[in-house]
Amino acid sequence: MPLPFAISNRLAGFTATLGLAVALLPAPTMAQTPASATSAAARATMPLLAAWGGPHGGVPAFDKVRVADFKPALEAAMAENLTEINAIASNPAAPTFENTIAAMERSGQTLTRVSAIYDIWSSTLNDPAFAAVETEMAPKLAAFYDQITQNAALFKRIEAVYNAPATKKLTVEQQRLTEVQYKQFVRAGAKLDATAKARVSEINQQLAGLFTKFSQNVLADEANQVLVLETAQDLAGLPASLVDAAKTTATIRNSGVGVITNTRSSIDPFLTYSTQRPLREKAWRMFTNRGDNGGAHDNNAIITQILQLRAERAKLLGYATHAHLRLDNTMAKTPEAAMDLMLKVWQPAVAREHEEVADMLALAKKEGAPANFKIEPWDYRYYAEKVRKARYDLDQNEVKQYLQLDKMREGMFWVAGELFNFAFVPVTDVPVYHPDVKVWQVNDKATGQQIGLWYFDPYARAGKNSGAWMNAYRNQERMDGKAVTTIVSNNSNFVKGKPGEPVLISWTDATTLFHEFGHALHGLSSNVTYPTLSGTSVVRDYVEFPSQVLENWLATPEVLSKYALHYQTGKPIPQALVDRINKASSFNEGFATTEFLASALIDMKLHLAGAQKIDPDKFERETLAGLGMPHELVMRHRTPQFTHVFSSDGYSAGYYSYLWSVVLAADAFSAFTEAGGPYDKAVAARLRNHVFTVGNTVDPAAGYRAFRGRDPKIDALMKQRGFPLAAAKAAPGKASSGGKGKATRKRK
């Protein structure tokens, strides 16, 4: 059953979007529906309410989904769930693990099925009809979940089990589940008095509506704003794949000779290759001002309200700020620990960025730029690419010829076979929600036993959130002796080119593909009993670790030689080009690290500001100035479009977690390099057994120590990014924590 403190997050948009917008609730589970189930008549008229039937242990009936059914289906499922919860709360028998904690795990099955599909429509098919339903239902869902977490009789039973001496005799996983459930209820306000509970519920409902509006505003700016290229000269410098995509979009929109859409997958390559500086500036401003243009889709007032409400809720729950509330059940434990790590990396990153700009200016002036020429934010990617080519003889367009989307996907499958013993078999016997979506059955290579299903939704389209993320439609579990396999998905926003031609992706895009696949493997590897502890349901600053670490396998010779094949000749990428890629591996890390940390630091500082009323644009501008933010770049996610943080509570005061996790990931990969190499069987087995399979059944810090034999060190990260090690000698990971993450994981 979906549970607690972020119970209000899910409502906010149910997942919005890792990467991608997020909720901290467990993914759907498929245990037997209780006797209190919704009536057969309701199920007959609304397929959304039905148990998932068909092959593979049951699959979502996407072909029967009607937007008009979402509201009545959610309402019926909520009513059913409340009946189940009230039965648990009013049970006259003394509270035990079985009749309280396990009973809660069995409840809410209809709602978790409905909400899984609701999440998909919210993040991938969000048209005006669905948006209207989402706007109405978000506050209602928030109120519903508060009815559970604020149920005094239910919490009394949970607390009794948590404190009972008999609980110490339960299995380790049962004790962990009891602790997680208890602490989540406390964090949601279960111990507050009636007045405070009522106010928390009001806040949660208000936030749910604001989160939904924020997300819809960003979607609107992405859908409605485009850069129209009027002449052939406007296409100058662009790679063929982007030209093809721009021309296709122009044909669809009947506008210009090309159209650049307002998503990162289109804007970043345009900024990298367009020789038309005024157009680069237009594209940059269009993208960085999403949600910040005034009018109906401006998000600044919404952000101010969200921050005020979060601060008030944190106070009611007994925390100094929202940041302290959010980090209470993480590895970092405190905002101060997270800030310490970020600031240790910030100065080396900014120093490297200054060096990068100096190199760009030197090249620009060599090419004839005037003496007073300055690198502006819309110039950074363009001149960085020129420096990369001049210094390393490395042209990203040349690399791109070898990175076909389908081949990179096959490479990921091969890595999963080597490290996790998984085999991926395409299937066509399940319905999908869009023709772009393809499905694979995942089996154990040795036994042939089915592990789960993997859905892949790779392309951008109207109504789909930008970025990349992973979802779990159904979590693995084995309650009551019934093995339930997982269903996971990866979602991207690659731009289609000409029909029938392979989609070529950048090295960065390929890295993102591996990153999100790491989340999927985390879910697929799960081997636990209870769904609340399953898969990616771990703390926020640990959940990115499995995905970050998998990025390292893209550059291994085994993957590149077999799957980095030229899209025309089929020949593998030349070793000389691979050598140049490796030589340039830390190139531009000043830019990449600084733009990320700027967003993470703003996120944390916004939520450490407490009750003060924030003007988002002013706060962003003044805080970045105080940090010494370089003029030549902008935050990776500016505040008015920061969906990680403002379309749910998901990554709020938690965007730092990518850095925390990448420290773990860099340190973990060094365990392979110190042993027999990236495919060392013994190290891979330890990684599976102590990280990927255990979900939230163990403390993450203890799990990491069991894998690595020690706490993580920051050395490997600093080496990877080419930063001086003396600049940062602290490492995260020593604090322990409970709690859970969520089923949607979003790319940074």
Active-site positions read: 516
Q: How many whole angstroms separate alpha carbon 161 and alpha carbon 96? A: 6
Residue type, 408: M
Nearest in space to 177 (alpha carbons), one of 26, 381, 361: 26
User: What distance in Å separates the CA atoms of residue 536 and residue 25, rounded to the nearest whole number?
Assistant: 10
With beta carbons less than 8 A apart as the criterion, state whether 718 and 724 touch.
Answer: yes
Which residues are CB-contacts of 543 (< 8 A; sequence separation ≥ 6)? Answer: 519, 522, 536, 657, 661, 741, 742, 745
Q: Which two tokens stand for residue 164?
A: 């009972």
Q: Are 660 and 332 in contact (CB under 8 A)?
A: yes
Q: Are 184 and 5 in contact (CB under 8 A)?
A: yes
Could you tell me which residues come within 8 angstroms of residue 98 by beta carbon, excluding any fewer than 6 positions away?
none
Our measurement of the distance from residue 452's CA atom to the centroid of its chain's CA atoms, rounded to an integer in Å, reads 20
Judged on CB neighbours under 10 Å (0-12, 13-18, 19+), 288 is: middle
Contact indicator for 3, 177 with CB cutoff of 8 Å: no
SS (H, E, C) 679-730: CCHHHHHHHHHHHHCCCCCCCHHHHHHHHHCCCCCCHHHHHHCCCCHHHCCC
Q: Are residues 730 and 341 in contact, defined by beta-carbon separation less than 8 angstroms?
A: yes
Distance of alpha carbon 18 from alpha carbon 146, whole angstroms: 25
- Among 652, 663, 717, smallest CA distance to 327 is for 652
